[in-house]
Every structure is written in C-alpha cells, then in structure tokens.
Structure 1
Amino acid sequence: MKITAIKAWQVDLPLKEGRYSWSNGNFVEVFDATVVAVETDDGVTGYAECCPLGSAYLPAYGAGVRAGLAEIAPKLIGLDPTNLGEMNRRMDAALKGHAFVKAPIDIACWDILGKVAGLPVHALLGGAAQDRVALYRAISQQPPEQMARAVAGYRAEGYTKFQLKVGGNADEDIARIIACRDILHPSDVLVADANTGWTRAEAARVVAAVSDLDVYIEQPCPSFEECLSVRRRTALPFVLDEVITDVEALLRGLAEDAMDIINLKISKVGGLTKARLIRDLCVESGIPMTIEDTWGGDIVTATIAHLARSTPAEFCFSATDFNSYGTRDIATGAPRRLDGFMTASDAPGLGVTPLIESFGAPALSIGG
C-alpha cells in the first residue's frame, strides 16, 4: 500500500456560546480547522483534523497547519501509511519541530491502519480499557457569577468535571474559584486552569487563598520552572499542560515531581503515535491524564475518544467532547455526549466519515 495523494480543507467551526475566552484577554469566536485526507493506491483513505486554539495559545495556528502540510506532503507520497514508525521518521526529517503539522498525517494513517485491519483505532492503541469516558466542560472566562451559572447549567446536562478558565486578575480569579466550587457537589471535580496567565506572585496569592477548597491548579505560569515553584508552595493537586510538549518534557516533570496530572493534547505532541507513547509512560508512572486536543470538531473528538477509551479509567482523569461546543457537524459517526460521558466507535479506523461535500474546494492537494 502506498500514499498517492494528500488533501486538506479549511473548515470554520463557529461556537454555540459565541466566544471562548481564556487568560490574558485571549479569545476565539470561530475556530480555523483543517481536515486532512490521506489517499492510497488500494482505495483506502484515512482522515484526520487539526485545530489550533487560535495563534496566541501554543506555537501553532490554523494557516500554519496547511503551510506545513504543503512542505511535507510531497515527501510522503509513495510511502506505506501503515508503517507508522517510518511515516513519523520521514515527517521529522522533512520538517523540524511543528508537531501540530504532523499530527493529522499521523492520525489519518492510524485511520487507514484500522480500516485495513478491520479494527477500531482504540483496539490498535491497546484495546478497550473502559466502555465510556468521563468528560469535563471548559468554562469560558467571565465574571464569577456568570461562570457559576454556566457551571450549574452544564452540571444539569450531566457533566461532573469542570475546568474554569482563570489566569486573569488574581482577586477576580479567587472569586471565580470560590463561586464555582460553592455550587458544586462534593464529588464534583473543579480545575482552575490559568493557561500560563499568572505571574509567580499572582499564582502564589491564588493558591494560598483557595488552599482550603477542593480544587486542582492547572498550568499557573508560562515556564516549567515557575510552575514548579508554585507547586512547591501548595498542597493542592497540580496539573501541567502547555509545558508538557514531548517525552523529554514528561520525563523532566516526573523526575522533579512537578505534577499530579498532565493534559495530553494529541496534536501538541504530534499525533497518536507519540501520544500513545506519552500515555503509556504516564500509566507506568502512575500519572493520570486529561486526554484531549487544542480544539476541533467531530474528527478530533473521535480521535480523543479512541485514545481515551484505550486508557485505563483510573489514569483517564477526563476527556473532551469538542464537537458539543460548536454549531457545525463535519463528519458522521462521531462520538456524542450522553450524561457527561462519550465512547469511541467500534467501526474500523476512527469510525467517522467527513462531510467532504460541505467543505468546498481543497486548500491543498498534493499527488494524484
């Protein structure tokens, strides 16, 4: 089997709530997603999706996905997409860094491998370890009372895990955390996610002020060193996200006892091949994970579901159903939330069929 063509479509994903806001005044109203197709001479096509969280979150942006694909795609024509190790070595040789560009190619190749084997991707990733996956709901940054109302509304829909977007003014963030924790049940999970938005001094104030609450602190500051300093000041459980970019970063975090949980974003680390390696290292090291991505629609949600379903429940802290945040369906067969949970399809591959006819002309078409 050989790759004959790689195509990509730019797809807008508007939000139901109109705007998603996080630290430092950042927000997105319409997400810029890229849907990728990897075609083969056997007639099997694999699909994937990559959707960065704007351009001010990580070193990634929507147009950059397509620019990077134009750079590497010609060098992948003729390769065997089921040879995932070789595919990743070739991509790394063709383009240094830019893991987010390589992720959709890698994921599409997993989709092909599943279709050829007649197995769902979660079976290839280690087998089903849980029947359904618990979801969290991200709560866009707003005044404390509005965020508390949003938490209450989503709790009524079945969510029991909530990620508050903080990382703004420390006094307001303290009020946000207190207001939201106050309306939740004792068994509900609350994560205060600063998305690198606090200085070390601000983070120290916040963790001291909420030290008597049942709340997780996530990625308070931009650097690993700053976050480690904050962790050493608090007994609250600690989550690292933005600084866990690859295996090397994970190993450093483990060596320095820098976190209790990580957020494993599939496109941030380069796709399912490298995400599986990080997942397995976390399981062996006793570190639970939120399994997710930077953003996306139906295809990203399906990819998350397969990796999460193949992860033991005690190490799958939560996952994300990004397709419930948007107003647009881009594929059939995608997971759908039910009472705060979702599951991955048992169909071969990712189990999704993109609605290609709704995307318009491809933004990129390499090969024949």
Structure 2
Amino acid sequence: MTDSPIASVDLVHIALPTRREHKWTGLTEPIGGYVLVKISDHEGRSGWGEAPALKDWGGEFGRYFGESPGTTMQVIEAYLAPAVRGAMPGDIIDLHARMDRIIKGFPYAKAAVEFAAYDLAGRQAGLPVHRLLGGAARKAIPVTHSIGLLGFEEAEREVAQVVQEGIRTIKIKVGVDPERDVEMVKRIRDTVGPKTTLCVDANQGYATPGEAIRTFRKMEHCELKYFEQPVEGIERLAEVARAIDAPVMADESAWNAHDVIQIVEKRAAQIVSIYTTKPGGLFKAMEVAAVCRAAGLVCNVNGSVETGIGNLANIQLAAAAPAVTLSCVVPVSTPVETLGGRVGGIYYKDDLIAAPMTLVDGMITLPDGPGMGIAADEAKIAKYTMRG
C-alpha cells in the first residue's frame, strides 16, 4: 500500500436511536446525534471519524465550551476541510498544525478530522491505529458500564443484568440531590454484591466542596473505587481530594496536557479521565497520557457515549497509552443483528460499524484490522443520516 494525500472531506449528521435515555448532571439533549467525517485519498480509500458534539458539555467555568453538530459541521466545512486537503493522512503533526493555524479551539471538530486521517493512514499502511501510536500496552480493554441518571428500580434491574453479563465495574451518575445519590449507591451495592467495583461521577453537580465531602462520606461504606469530578474547578476539586480517602478523578477539569500540569501542581486528583476528543484527537490524548504517567497519575478512557465510529478511537487509545490502567467507560459497540438482548455497555439500539466489538470476560478485545480496526458500515450510516 502507498501513501496518498487527502483528496476530499465529507460530513454526515447522524442520529442513532438509544436503547434507553442516558443522561448525566447538566445534559439537556439526547446522545447519539453526532457528526461523522469521511476523508478519502486520491486512490479512493477512505477513513472515518466522529465528533460526539454536545452543546452542554464543556470545561470548568467556561474554560472550554460545548460544540453542537451545527457548529462542528460549520467549522469543518469552512476551515478544517480546506486546511487539510493535500495533507498526508499519516503526517498527524502537520495535520494538527494546519488545523490550529486556521482556527483556534473546537477540539471535537478537530478530533473527528484527525480520527478519519488516522483511520485512512492505517488503511494505507495496512496497520491498526494503535501501531501508529506506538503499539499495544494491552490487548483487552476492561469496560465500565454507566447507568446514568435512572430511577432506583430501573437502575437495580439494569445493574443486575450487566453483572450477569460479565461486566465488573459500574459507574453511578450522581450530583443531583445528596439524599437521592446516597440511596442510589446503597441500592446498587446491595444489588451487585461486594465483588463488583463501583465508582461515582457527579459531573460537577455538587454546589460546594463541603456538600461533596459530606455526601461522599455517607457513601464511602459502599467501597467506591473513585469519586469523579464532584465539583467545578481544579482548586475546589483539590479541597475534596484532601478531605476523603478515596481517589478523586478529574474529568471536566482535565481537557489537555496543560490542565494535567495544573492538576498535579494543586494535588487536585490522583486519576485523570482521558478523552480522545477533549484535547483534540488521539495525538494530543497521548500527550495527556504521557504527562499523567510522568506525574504518577493513573487514567481511564472515557467519552461522550460515541457510536462505534468514534468508540474505535477510544479503544485504540486505551490500548496504546501505558497510563491507562483502569477500566474504561466506553460502549461495547454492537450492530442490532448481533445484539441479542444484551445491555452491558450497550447504549444504542444499533451501530455504524460492520462487525460488533468482541466482549470477553467483561473486556473488549482490541481489534487488529487496518485503521481503526473495524470498517464503517456505510449502509447503516446512510440509514441513520439526518435529512433536511
């Protein structure tokens, strides 16, 4: 296979139907209405990327802002696509330089373009993307299932099935109301028993560090692995971290490598949740992971409940980054034809990849096909494309 420059950049706005409503504190729109990017070379080969853009998702105190499908498509069409045409797909440093010169910010839009370029580069070279990132530190990715903001009984039914299916870690969304949160954690622990790992994620939902600390102390007897982003702000996160025994995880506070430096300086967290999208793509996510590893922080890979197109990038990162040692909050992307009633890691009724991800003993087997590892299903993409 030979290198060939980027000839075209095409966009698709899709809406994938959800298995059930999935929400967290601050989210006001449904998941699954995302933007896909298709990059093609002069020989007709293509790579795919995804921007799981959500207008409600951003960093602390307006430091980073939400991107919508509309803003994503406008930025790519007007700025990024013209900038990257003619670039070599595998020259990722040049790709980012072109994108950063033409427009500041918009990491989700840039990530989608970069994913498609990595996918195409891997297909041109006949290699999986994790090889382009340095190789696989692990070949199986443990999955954490997120139950979102569900009612008590629905949550209990879901986690019981998830554990039966082999998932070993469950994330409980909190940050709504302290009494509700404490009761939910107790009910989930009683349902799954002592052997399943539990963690809680407030999505900055608690009003003050004091409220977060008091609430966690009422939960901690349930043996929680970590307390994710209890409050907004690195300094306020540090207050919580000093007051509790369990590790604090930074998510909304940790978008890029510079954020991690500040987190380390403030001793605000012991764990960082790395996204492929928050820093602007896989290349910069590996920078985040490298800073974390140097500072002795451990990581997981998290995301915005991507379709299979974007989730493949999550899996490639989780495999390649040595700092990623924890179970990852990623979907088990599965087309409807092979779903079979499973719910563990399943957030959509269908998917956009040509084959399902393989889940064995609660872990996704790293796909080793060229590019992102599993081909896009262009018929499914056409089926779920939003018209008008």
> What is the alpha-carbon distance in structure 1 between the residues aligned to residue 10 and residue 240 of structure 2?
44
- In structure 2, the partner of 1:204 is 213
Structure 1 residues 313, 196: CA separation in 2 closer, same or farther (over 3 Å shift)? closer
Q: Do the aligned residues in 2 keep the contact of 1:99 with 1:270 (CA within 8 Å)?
A: yes
Partner of 2:247: 237
TM-score, scaled to structure 2: 0.87
Q: Which amino acid letter does the alignment assign opposite residue 371 of structure 2?
A: G
Shift in Å, 1:105: 0.9
1:213 aligns with 2:222: yes
1:342 to 364, 373, 379: 364
Task: Kindly provide the amino acid, as one letter, of the partner of residue 207 in structure 1.
Answer: F
Matched residue, 1:61: 68
Q: Which runs of 5+ in 1 are unaligned?
A: none
* AA at the equivalent of 1:251: I
- The TM-score with structure 1 as length reference comes to 0.91
**In proportion to residue count, which structure has more strand?**
1
Superposition map of 1:135-154 within 5 A: 135-154=143-162
> What is aligned with 2:12?
9
Which residue number corresponds to residue 24 of structure 2? Answer: 22
| Secondary structure in 1 matching 2:367 | coil
- Report the count of equivalent residues: 361
Q: Does the alignment pair 1:70 with 2:73?
A: no
* Secondary structure, counterpart of 2:14 in structure 1: strand
Alpha-carbon RMSD across the aligned residues, in angstroms, is 2.2
- 1-structure distance, mates of 2:32, 2:329: 19
Structure 2, unpaired ranges of 5+:
59-65, 334-345
State whether residues 38 and 49 of structure 2, in contact with CA within 8 Å, keep that contact through their aligned partners in structure 1.
yes
Work out the CA distance in 1 between the residues paired with 2:15 and 2:112.
17
Shift of 1:267: 1.0
> 2:37 aligns to what?
36
Q: Would you say 1:160 and 2:163 are equivalent positions?
A: no
How far residue 111 of structure 1 moved from its aligned partner, in angstroms, is 1.1
How do 1:173-322 and structure 2 match up within 5 A? Answer: 173-200=181-208, 201-215=210-224, 216-312=226-322, 315-321=325-331
3-state DSSP of counterpart to 1:268: coil
- The alignment-based identity, stated in percent, is 25
Aligned-pair distance for 1:271? 0.8
User: Conserved in 2, the CA contact under 8 Å of 1:128 and 1:309?
Assistant: yes
2:328 match: secondary structure:
strand
Moved more, 258-267 or 282-291: 282-291
1:41 is displaced (CA, Å) by 1.6
AA paired with 2:44?
G
Deviations 1:6-59 (A, max 9, x none): 001111111112x112114x354452111111111233321111213x321221
1:81 counterpart = 2:89:
yes
Distance 1:322 1:62, change over 3 A: farther
1:329 counterpart = 2:351: yes
In structure 2, give the amino acid aligned to 1:112.
L
Q: Which residue of 2 aligns with 1:124?
A: 132
